[in-house]
Amino acid sequence: MKILVTGAKGFVGKNLIAELNNRGYKNILKVDIDTDKSLLDEYAEDCEFVFHLAGVNRPKDEKEFMKGNFGFTSELLEELKKHNNKSPILITSSIQADKDNLYGRSKRAGEDLLFKYSEEIGAKVLVYRLPNLFGKWSRPNYNTVVATFCYNIARNLDIQINNTNAEITLCYIDDVVDEFIRALEGNESMKDTYCFIPIVYHIKLGELADKIKSFKESRKNLSIPNMEDELTKKLYSTYLSFLPKDNFSYDLKMNCDARGAFTEFIRTLDRGQVSVNVSKPGITKGNHWHHTKNEKFLVVSGEGLIRFRKIDSDEIIEYKVSGEKLQVVDIPTGYTHSIVNIGDTDMVTVMWVNECFDPQKPDTYFLEV
């Protein structure tokens, strides 16, 4: 199938084309502002489906709203008419189309033109009035407030909020692309005259800003956002895509002494904590037990011996572990336990514990195995 995509270099176009390629749609005819007019004529003759994503959001001159959102749509439809091409057309409009402003009027004019075109030649048209979109490859100060917040916060730049309680409606780019591909395959989500994206989110501007700021702080407090919340998960992915190129990495605090090192890696509110422990040859760590706290040890480099003893028993249980064979060892409650490096090199152990360390309630009691 030959698929024509206008606005191919834009935010939605780039994401859509990438996923079309992932799903095996390879014959994609790309049109953008710098495409030669002769190519548009050729593509209008050959295409079998049209994603009309081209448009103007924030022009320097407001007159460009009508030119970009109505004029080019008219030009595209004339090319299709010339070749008697009745391919289905999907157009991206905006929830602003209901409002009496220059942008809204230009979007509504494009919609009306498309509906009239459908009546004239019988082509299937799909109009999506999109809310604020967010996701990777969006442009700050252009596509969405999410992009602007992510870009600025990642760079320690100020953000401006006129009303923290103002609520906005958001759509994630991957959900939009999924719906568009369903439409390509004839399974669009329809309601009355318009199509819609099934998954939308509502959030206040102040809450949105605080959430994105918390992503930046997570590098310091080692917290992981609540990934069970779909909006938080998608916003976090978007934020990471806006990190400066020289700021992908960040340092962790290594607690070092003659025995090795202990470094916290990840903290969560409800999934515990992950740390990395380095032990020098011959060093024993542990010799303590817990009431409720439980752990998982995974030696990823070196050789070790993990020893257990129930606190009211003399029986000692031993497990040899090695980075040569990755094996998780559960550390049960009520057992004093230790881990000793029995190799000739540093032993590196990834440790998970079911709760983050609380110095006020460490639940850790010294007792030799």
Query: Which are the catalytic amino acids?
Result: 103
**What type of residue is 326?**
L
> Contact, 88 vs 49, CB < 8 A?
yes
> Could you tell me which of 211, 355, 226, 367 has the C-alpha nearest to residue 292?
355
Contact call for residues 77 and 117 (beta carbons, < 8 A): yes
Long-range contacts of 307-313 (CB under 8 A, 24+ apart): 307/337, 307/338, 307/339, 307/340, 307/369, 308/332, 308/335, 308/336, 308/337, 308/369, 309/335, 309/336, 309/337, 309/369, 310/334, 310/335, 310/336, 311/335, 311/336, 311/367
Distance, CA of 329 to CA of 43 (rounded, Å) = 61
Helices (H) and strands (E) in the chain, counts: 9, 21
Tokens at residue 355, please? 């709760």
What is the β-pairing status of strands 295-301 and 347-353?
Answer: antiparallel
Between CA 368 and CA 329 the distance in angstroms is 19
DSSP 71-100: IHHHHHHHHHHHTT----EEEEEEGGGGSS
151: helix, strand or coil? helix
d(CA 286, CA 366): 8
Based on C-alpha coordinates, what's the Rg of the chain? 29
Amino acid making up residue 10: G
- Beta strands per DSSP E along 147-187: 167-172
